[in-house]
């Protein structure tokens, strides 16, 4: 019997994972990718002897990857190894206070107490609530489609809905945190978790308080070799399972007629298949691949997530006081988000994130040097003058870091590469350069996120950061799983009908 054929458009993390899952279901899988390499945003580059992970830099929930290798029957250690990190992040405040966010709750509670006077019980209780919220609600909503009635009819969902307190939906994350912590520092640290999906803590619902559970209770990890190791492992696994990749071959459009998808045009050829999964940004899937402008415009009714401005700096000295992950907070957090989401401009005193993989992999920088991935949150691109914004931000970032690290940083930069929202869209096909598709700034944002199937075109499915359950590595891997489970169910039905 001939195998059924599947096409995946795009080889981002979700595209790689869904391709492998479909292959395990018995499909013959082809992946069309417009770039010359797999991984989408999760890529790397080398310059002047420094090596940089270009995209996401935080690794949590390795179980999503472990599970995929288990299901594929492959020993993960042959492809991928990782280690846990004791300090999730080091926080620097303008007041001079420095806080180590230990992944051990007792140690973290002690640190907050000593440095800020925050009662130890605040953190312990917060993380316990975060865990409950994740286990009761997160696991149901993140691992199942919100757009299939079966999810809602399952007793798990009914239990989850009973545990949803109104405060999680109708209170902002900021307000929730202000009630849970006594000190401004702790509030600011936990407000920051809204940025993990490109949202504004002063608007996004308190439901996002489940995110710290992943980083602090379940742990923060480092993939040996850097984040690119995740892409490499998933790509090798897909190849091992027989997936075929076509690089430098963008899908030009999806062939469909009478509410049914039949294949894609790629490299000016018609390629037919029994099903298609688009791992492209959902906006571009509707607009360019389907030519359904009205559907694309509907996606735009929701606010876009924030974007990023990233400076990849080769620094010709080492800073023992810095960790793998570091945050230099803005003095006025509220105003920073006001600028990003409402005024769509850059704030003069941005919160600066620095990721330094050479702390874990010394060969990522020349001896005694460091590779700094320096990022600030910025609005999605709506035609701002990025050249001007970038020059100004660079000056503000250097001033801030020089002040807080008591060193002239400008003198130490020996290599520089810059990534702005315009380039992010060009390189990764994320509309307006927004990193996570739509933001979670409204109470019902999770329910308005595009589903993992189109609903009106048979055999056409979607996965990745711009659809359910959202952006970031853990959610993209969950997205691939949700999509593959929907496909498995649909094709079982089709088989039983055809017999």
**Residues, the chain:** 499
Which runs of consecutive H residues, i.e. helices, occur in 135-227? 139-143, 149-153, 155-163, 166-170, 173-180, 184-191, 211-212
Class of domain 1-43+227-303+440-499: alpha beta
In the chain, the N- to C-terminal Cα span, in Å, equals 14
Rg (CA), the chain: 22
The stretches in the chain having pLDDT less than 70 are: 152-153, 163-166, 444-448, 498-499
Q: Which residues are paired to 245 by β-bridges? A: 31
| 390/405 Cα distance (integer angstroms) | 22
Confirm if 374 and 352 have CB atoms less than 8 A apart: yes
**What's the pLDDT at 499?**
60
Query: How far is the CA of 260 from the CAs of 186, 232, 255, 329, in angstroms?
Result: 52, 34, 9, 50
191 contacts: CB under 8 Å, gap ≥ 6: 173, 174, 177, 201, 202, 333
Beta pairing class for 82-85 and 220-223:
antiparallel
List of residues 6+ apart from 115 with CB closer than 8 A: 97, 98, 99, 185
Strand order in the sheet with 260-266: 251-257, 260-266, 269-272
**Domain spans of the chain?**
1-43+227-303+440-499, 307-379+382-419
Sign of CA dihedral 100, 104, 105, 106: negative
Please give the pLDDT value at position 446. 64
Nearest-angstrom CA–CA distance, 10 and 33: 5
Q: For tokens 């959902």, what's the residue? A: 282
Answer positive or negative: Cα dihedral of 99, 100, 103, 107: negative
Beta strand 50-53 with 59-60: parallel, antiparallel or unpaired? unpaired
CA–CA gap between residue 209 and residue 190 (Å, rounded): 8
Task: Give the DSSP H/E element, type plus range, for residue 391.
Answer: helix 386-405
- What pLDDT does 137 receive? 80
pLDDT per position as a tens digit, 40-67: 999 999 999 999 999 999 999 999 999 9
Task: Round to whole Å and give the CA distance between 491 and 408.
Answer: 61
- Report how far residue 28's alpha carbon sits from residue 10's, in angstroms, rounded to the nearest whole number: 16
Report the alpha-carbon distance of residue 244 to residue 422 in Å, rounded: 30
pLDDT for 456: 93
pTM check: above 0.85: yes
pLDDT in tens, 298-343: 988 888 999 999 999 999 999 999 999 999 999 999 999 999 999 9
């Amino acid at each position: 019997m001939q195998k059924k054929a599947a096409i995946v458009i795009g080889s981002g993390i979700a595209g790689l994972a869904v391709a492998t899952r479909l292959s395990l279901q018995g499909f013959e899988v082809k992946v069309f990718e417009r770039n010359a390499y797999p991984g989408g945003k999760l890529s790397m580059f080398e310059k002047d002897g420094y090596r940089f992970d270009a995209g996401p830099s935080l690794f949590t929930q390795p179980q999503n990857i472990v599970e995929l290798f288990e299901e594929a029957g492959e020993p993960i250690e042959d492809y991928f190894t990782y280690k846990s990190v004791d300090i999730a992040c080091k926080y620097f405040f303008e007041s001079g206070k420095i806080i180590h966010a230990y992944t051990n709750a007792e140690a973290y509670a002690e640190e907050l107490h000593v440095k800020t006077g925050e009662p130890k019980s605040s953190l312990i209780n917060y993380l316990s609530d975060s865990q409950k919220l994740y286990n009761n609600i997160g696991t149901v909503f993140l691992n199942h489609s919100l757009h299939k009635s079966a999810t809602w009819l399952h007793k798990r969902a009914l239990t989850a809905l009973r545990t949803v307190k109104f405060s999680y939906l109708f209170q902002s994350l900021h307000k929730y945190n202000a009630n849970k912590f006594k000190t401004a520092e702790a509030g600011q640290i936990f407000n920051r978790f809204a940025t993990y999906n490109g949202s504004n803590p002063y608007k996004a619902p308190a439901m996002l308080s489940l995110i710290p559970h992943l980083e602090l209770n379940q742990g923060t990890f480092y993939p040996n070799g850097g984040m690119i190791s995740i892409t490499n492992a998933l790509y090798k696994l897909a190849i091992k399972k027989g997936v075929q990749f076509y690089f430098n071959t963008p899908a030009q459009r999806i062939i469909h007629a009478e509410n049914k998808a039949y294949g894609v045009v790629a490299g000016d050829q018609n390629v037919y298949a029994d099903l298609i999964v688009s791992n492209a940004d959902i906006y571009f899937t509707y607009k360019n691949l389907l030519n359904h402008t009205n559907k694309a415009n509907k996606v735009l009714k929701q606010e876009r997530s924030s974007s990023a401005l990233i400076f990849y700096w080769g620094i010709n000295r080492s800073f023992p006081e810095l960790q793998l992950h570091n945050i230099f907070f803005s003095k006025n957090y509220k105003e920073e988000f006001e600028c990003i989401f409402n005024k769509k401009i850059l704030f003069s005193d941005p919160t600066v994130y620095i990721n330094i993989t050479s702390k874990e992999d010394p060969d990522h920088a020349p001896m005694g040097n460091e590779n700094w991935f320096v990022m600030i949150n910025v609005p999605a691109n709506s035609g701002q003058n990025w050249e001007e914004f970038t020059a100004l931000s660079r000056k503000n970032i250097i001033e801030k870091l020089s002040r807080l690290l008591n060193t002239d940083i400008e003198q130490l930069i020996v290599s520089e590469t810059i990534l702005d929202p315009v380039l992010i869209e060009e390189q990764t096909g994320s509309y307006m350069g927004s990193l996570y598709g739509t933001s979670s700034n409204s109470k019902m944002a999770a329910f308005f996120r595009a589903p993992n199937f189109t609903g009106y075109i048979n055999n056409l499915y979607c996965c990745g950061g711009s659809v359910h359950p959202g952006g970031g590595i853990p959610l993209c891997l969950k997205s691939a799983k949700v999509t593959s489970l929907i496909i498995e169910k649909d094709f079982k039905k089709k088989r039983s009908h055809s017999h």
